Every structure is written in structure tokens, then in C-alpha cells.
Amino acid sequence: MIGALAANNQWRGTPSGLGGLGRMASRLAGLTGWRRFGVLMLLGALATLSLPPLGWLVVLLPSLSGLVWVLEGAATRRSAFAVGWWWAWAWYAIGFYWIGNAMLVDPERFAWMIPFATLGLGAVQAVFIGVATLVTHLTRSTGIFRIVVLAGAWTFMEWVRSWFLSGFPWNPLGSVWDAVPSVLQLASLVGVFGLCGFTILVFALPAVLADFITVTQRRVALGLVAVLLVGGAAFGTLRLAAHPTEMVPGIRLRLVQAAIAQRHMWRDDLRQSQLLDHVELTRGPGYDKVTHVVWPETAAPFFLNLDVQARALVASVVPPGGVILAGAPRVTPQGVEPFGLWNSLMAIDAAGQVLGTYDKAHLVPFGEYVPLRGVLPIAKLTAGGTDFSAGPGPRTLDIPTLPPVGPFICYEAVFPGAVAEHGNRPQWLLTLTNDAWFGKSAGPHQHLAAGRMRAVEEGLPLVRSANSGISAIIDPLGRELYRLGLNERGVLDGELPKPVAATVYGRWGNIVPISLSIVLLLLGVFGGLLRSVRD
């Protein structure tokens, strides 16, 4: 369409600046071969600057508008798929660069996997966005309706990406709104997947200005963007003002961040000292004011359910009347069948009793288990040759002296709608993680943003305890109240926020963004048909 308009010189006579926009759109639509793929990769790479920790959202305007213009020039289904795939490959491959740090913990064994873990994983994830641009092309919608279709298709495919082949929903497009607390509140309605569609509408709608000739049509396009941005920000601002942070009386948490280097973890000669590190930090200044203690993922490198001596050491620093919530591996006793090994959270009281347990459900492929182990001759990244077993999924733990808690461990933070038990809503969320795998990179910041998104989606406060950081206490609207930074060693003391009423997304989960995606698809398709009939 753009190319045809340019060929017929219909950009002439457009207002100052708009003709230049049309010529730019025409050039991008007319790209072929390596130039097209190169530009798409540059646009996708540019978009990664909007991710945490930078949050430069303005780069999405040229990136997503440029994507739409290149898509306009796609003449075949294959080329339409390729447009989305090349853009998304750069977006994911660069956005996932930090995964390579995990392979450098033991470089002699795993460094060869870095290209597969970054470029290869990015290539697989890009397929979903390629399908979204293909669907947009197939509908033959134009103008605003083309953007609406793309928003619906993108939203739907982000949801598919969260469960297909066990799922890997890291860095969905909507996660960029972590940088704007007011707009982030929309996640309480439509979740992060709904924010993906919102992002497309806001930053890609200006692309259709190149299609418009009349002042009225330009105003409609810009007006829609303004309504979305102003409306989203106004909703969030009112929500933030209506829900000041309130604290649960009588609870003061201590989060312990020992900042143990990943290469030292699970060394037999250091296991005892690592446990003592957590004990000594727990006993540090201010301990007499603490009611409950939280240790991060695998803070205790012992099977605490079986090792009575190690559990007694943990119990020695339990505050009076409180508990320690500690990350530790759990294993079935010797001779018990079937054998199981879990990455777990355990609640331990001053008597050394285990009052509650949560087992990680979403395991990291190649990190905690090897898919197709009988076929792939690959060792998992974590210590030992045994795959971890998966737990049953979200559950609410009732632990004496604490409000009911919804725990999840590390990687599980990136799964929307899968951190709180439906029908038995917790009063707060707790995540234990060990981001030492990823070093000083964007990974821990993106991981923190995912946890914040879960808090806003569910309307529940989040307590995040990380071995190397970033540890934080976040209220149910995503406001960070306490923080201990990346690679800082120490403790973080703070009060526990109260939850707010269950959100729309918290009640209905991913039904909301799926329904939104279908509405957008239907609106785009039928709106485009009506426009073509009218024309």
C-alpha cells in the first residue's frame, strides 16, 4: 500500500514533515534481501533499550513503526513471517545476552552452549512474533486496523509463548512499562500480555500517519494514541493515590543476602561456611527487632528435610515466636520410592520443625533438568547428575504467626497467572532466587521487573530474597519500599505490606488478555472490511 502510494506520488501535497514520513515508510516497505533483514535486526536491537534496567521507551516509536512499514512491503506469507522473526530475533537474542553468564560459571563444560542459549533461544522465541506478523499480513487489513490486528495477534502469541513446550515468557513486550509506575497499573486489569497489545497500539499507531492525507485522519490516529496514554496514566495515577501502602502490624522481616559467588556454591569444602554465613548475617545488628527471617534460594546447601544437624543450626537463629523461610534442596529418604529431588522452600521454627514446604514447579530446562535426557548428551548446569522433580504448582502456605503466603522460586516469577493459588488467595507473595548465575548484567533487573509485574497483576505485596540481589520488599501496586542492591552483602529489614482487593486479572487470569486479543483481532479484521467496502 505504501509503496503504491509513493509510486503514484500521492505523498505530494501532504503537510510539512508528513511527506518525509511517507518517503521513509516507502523506503522501508521497499527494502528487499539482506537490507530488509539488516534493518529489522537494527530495529529489534534498538527496542531492547526499553527493557530494564534502562527503560528508554521512546525507542519503541521508531522501532515498532519501522516494523509496521517493513511489513507493508511483504508480498508473500514467507516474507511476512520473516519480518516479525528477524525483528524479534534481535529483540530476544540481545535481551537474553545475560544467559551466557550462567555458562561461564563452569566455562570448560558449558561455554560452548552460549551461542545456543542466546542466539538459538532467541531464534526459537522469535517464531511466535513471526506468526503474529504473518497473521497480520493474511488479514489484509490497512491503516489503523492493521495495527489493531497486529496488537491482537502479538498479545495472543505472547500468551502462547508462555506455555508452548513448557514456556519461556521472559521479556514480553509489555514488560517495558516497569519504567512507568502509573501505566504499569493496567496490569491489574489485563496482565502483562494485555500490556503487550497496549504497547503495540501506542508505539505503532503513529506509523499509519504515513497513510493519511487529510487532517481529520491524522487527528484520529494521534488522538487514539493520546487517549491510550493519557487514559492509562490517569487510571494508574488514581489507583496509586487510592491505595496508600499499609503494613501488617507486628511483623518485621529480615532478608539475608550473603552474595555468595556461584562458582563457590555446592563445593563440599565450602558448604558449612556458606550456611554459617547466613546464620551470622541473620544474627547481625537489629536482630532483636526482627520477627521472621527469609533466606534465598538454596541458601542452605544441605537436604534440610533429612539433615537434622544442619536444620538445628538454622533453628538456632529463628526469632522468638517466628520462623525462618529458607531455600534448600529436598530429597526423599534413602530407599523411599519413587525417588524425588526438589528445589524447595521450607518454613522452620525454633524447634527445628518444618512447618511448611513449597516445591518449585516450573523448572529451568537444561538448568534443573535436561529435556529428552535419553537423546541429548548434555549435563544440566546445576550441581549433580540427577534432574530435579517438579512440584504441583501454586499453593498457599499457612504458617503460624504469618499471613497466608504464596511462594514461588526464581524462574517461576516470569509466568503470569501462575504465582498465586486460585480459590485460596494468599495475602502476600514470596520469591526466593539466586541470580548469582547472571553476574552484573541486565538479567537480575529484568527478573526483579517480572516479580513486580506479578505483584501488580495479583494485587499482592512481594517479598523478594536473592542470594546476590536484588532483594526487595514491594507493595501490591509495585512500589519498591525496601531494596538491597545487586552484589551487595548484608541484610534487608522491613515491614510486610498489606494486600489490596483481588484485581480483575487476579480473579480471571489470562482469560482477560486472551479475550482482549480476540476482540482486537475481530475489530481489526471487520473494521478493515467495512473500510474497504465504504471506499
Active site residues: 297, 360, 410
Bridge pairing between strands 462-466 and 428-433: parallel
Return the residue matching grid coordinates 488467595. Answer: 425
C-alpha 86: how far from chain center = 21
First vs last Cα of the chain: how many Å apart? 14
Cell of 103: 555458562
Question: In 277-338, where do the E strands start and end?
Answer: 292-294, 324-331
C-alpha cell read off for 343: 528445589
The answer to whether 492 touches 286, Cβ cutoff 8 Å, is no
DSSP string, 346-391: EEE-TTS-EEEEEE--SPPBTTTB-TTTTT-----SSSSSSPPPP-
Per-residue cell: 393: 504448582
Sheet holding 292-294, edge to edge: 354-359, 341-348, 324-331, 292-294, 247-257, 490-497
The SS3 call for residue 476 is coil
Q: Do 506 and 459 meet the contact criterion of CB atoms below 8 Å apart?
A: yes
